[in-house]
Amino acid sequence: MAKGGWQEFSRPESLQRGAAASEPTPKTQQRVRVQRTKSGKGGKMVTAITGLEAAESELKALLKQLKAAAGTGGTVKDGVIELQGDQVAPALAALEKAGYRPKQAGG
Q: What is the pLDDT of residues 41-83, one digit of tens each?
A: 788 899 999 998 888 889 999 999 999 999 999 999 988 999 9
What is the dotted CATH code of the domain comprising 24-104?
3.30.780.10
Q: What is the mean pLDDT of residues 74-103?
A: 92
Residue 41's pLDDT is 73
What is the C-alpha separation between 94 and 19, in angstroms, rounded? 32
What is the C-alpha separation between 26 and 38, in angstroms, rounded? 30
- Characterise 106 by phi-psi region: left (phi > 0), alpha (psi -120 to 50), beta (else): left
What is the C-alpha separation between 94 and 7, in angstroms, rounded? 49
Cα 26-30-32 angle, rounded to 5 deg: 140
pTM: 0.73
Of 23, 49, 21, the C-alpha closest to 36 is 49
Residue type, 101: R
Query: Confidence class of residue 24 from pLDDT cuts 50, 70 and 90?
Result: low
Residue 39's pLDDT is 76
Residue 11's pLDDT is 56
Q: What percent of the chain has pLDDT over 70?
A: 77
Q: How is the chain split into domains, by residue range?
A: 24-104
Query: Confidence class of residue 19 from pLDDT cuts 50, 70 and 90?
Result: very low
Q: What is the mean pLDDT of residues 28-39?
A: 86
